Amino acid sequence: MTRQLELLRPGQIAAEIARCPRVWLPLGTIEYHSQHLPVGLDGLQAHGLCLDAAEIAGGLVYPPLWWGTGGGHGGYPWTVMMPVQTEIFGILEQTLNRLQTFGVRQVVLFTGHFADEQLAMIAQLAADWNAQKGPLQALALGVNGNADAPLPPDHAGRFETTLLAAFHPKAVDITMLSPPQPDEAGEDPFGPQRHAPTHSLHGIFGADPRDYAPEDAANLRRAMATWLAACAGTI
């Protein structure tokens, strides 16, 4: 049986929640990730990892919420970023309210978009919710939280390129990136020059993905899913 909640009938949902009362709630954005990656990367990687973690630790996976906040690049092409958290916070709070009435006892808020503002938003939501000491507890995590990941987190760099390739290899096209330029050698991989549309790594903040190794994708995916499942613990 699939763990995608939206594909299940009510009886199937109730049976799994009775067995393991956990729901994974992936968060992402529609956001520019340079020319070689799809704009839905954040939600795609969060959803894929939640499905993997659910296979390990149990529970069902809610459809991704495709809006996020923060990051400092809301004006990039094909990027829709909420300027404040108000609307997203309200949607998530109502979702927790309803899931609690259905017998869910843990919701894992897992964001693939890990701007500081986004991480602070879900951390605040979880803290406020848990302070009520109700039967449902919320756990807030970001894809950047695994200190033991084989690659360090980034934005559209080697980490996100490799992780996305583990789920959607055909969505990655490194040939869309321009060749390195001589004056780019030794640059800060998180420097402001990568905001420039003329830069060969425009919109990429982190290690250069042009020499990423597709064979590393499965190992990164496994390490991330195992970490995520362990964070959820037992109910």
- Per-residue exposure over 189-207, b if at least 16 CB sit within 10 Å of its own CB, e if not: eeeeebeeeebbbbbbbbb
Gap between the Cα atoms of 158 and 181, Å rounded: 18
Q: Is residue 17 part of a domain?
A: yes
pLDDT at 74: 84
pLDDT at 181: 87
SS3 145: coil
Tell me the pTM: 0.97
Gap between the Cα atoms of 73 and 141, Å rounded: 22
Distance between start and end Cα atoms, the chain: 21
Low-confidence spans in the chain with pLDDT less than 70: none
- List the structure tokens of 232: 């959820």
Q: Is residue 235 part of a domain?
A: no
Gap between the Cα atoms of 7 and 170, Å rounded: 24
Give the residue numbers spanning the domain of 47: 5-230
Per cent of the chain over pLDDT 90 is 94
pLDDT at 185: 87
pLDDT digits (tens, 9 = 90+) for 158-184: 999 999 999 999 999 999 999 988 888
pLDDT at 183: 85
CATH code at position 103 = 3.40.50.10310
Q: Is residue 174 part of a domain?
A: yes
Our count of domains for the chain comes to 1
Q: Is residue 211 part of a domain?
A: yes
